[in-house]
Amino acid sequence: MAERRANTSWHAILGVLSFCPMSGYDVKKLIERSIAHFWNESYGQIYPILKRLAAEGLAERRRETQRGKPDRHVYSLTAKGREELARWLAVPARSAPARSELLLKLFLGGAGRPADSLAQVEHFEARQRELLATYDGIERQLRKEMAGHPQLPFSLITLHYGQGRCRAALAWCEETRATLRRLRPRAVRRARGR
């Protein structure tokens, strides 16, 4: 039980199943369409977790026959599964340490050329602009397709977090580019003085 309480993947799949009965394939597709920008699960994680959920009585599994295809197993939450999900949703989220290769390279940038650090920031900035445009498109689509749906505010909450992070990152990029550009002349003068 303690292992399960600490396994966020286990609860993520339990939560996704709360939307409607799904097969493992359906779970993966829903994750890709909704939460993949901040949480992802592989098929290698999904199928064993679905089997465990059923074995522990938190989900029911039924077989659906398909014409011309193999049977599929569809899982749905039980009352016990909904109780476990509600319990987990009430527990404060754990902090996860951030790992950023970009920040690592910038921190160590004094050992390299400022131009390389500037290129790193410019590349990151371009990616953030693309990501923000993607998020803005997702928001338009959600507002159109889910108007009035009770899930819409929760989807928008997580989407707005991503949009806010992108905007903050873009402001940081602007500030960082200015700092790195000020370093370039000094670095050149320092190199000539050697």
DSSP conformation class of 92: P
Which of the pair, 11 or 183, is modelled with greater confidence?
11
Which of the pair, 33 or 3, is modelled with greater confidence?
33
DSSP string spanning the chain? -HHHHH-HHHHHHHHHHTTS-B-HHHHHHHHHHHTTTT----HHHHHHHHHHHHHTTSEEEEEEEETTEEEEEEEEE-HHHHHHHHHHHHSPPPP-----HHHHHHHTGGGS-HHHHHHHHHHHHHHHHHHHHHHHHHHHHHHHHSTT-TTHHHHHHHHHHHHHHHHHHHHHHHHHHHHHHHHHHHHHHHHHT-
Q: What is the pLDDT of the chain when averaged over all its residues?
A: 90
Q: What is the pLDDT of residue 37?
A: 86
Q: What is the pLDDT of residue 184?
A: 63
Average pLDDT over residues 16-36: 93
Average pLDDT over residues 145-169: 96
Average pLDDT over residues 93-121: 91
Does the pLDDT of residue 150 top 80, yes or no? yes
Query: Which pLDDT band holds residue 5 (cuts at 50, 70, 90)?
Result: very low
Average pLDDT over residues 43-54: 95
Does the pLDDT of residue 2 top 70, yes or no? no
Q: What is the pLDDT of residue 3?
A: 46
Domain ranges of the chain: 2-90, 101-192
Does the pLDDT of residue 34 top 60, yes or no? yes
The pTM of this model reads 0.78
Q: What share of the chain has pLDDT > 70, as a percent? A: 91
| Third-level CATH fold of 2-90 | Arc Repressor Mutant, subunit A (1.10.10)
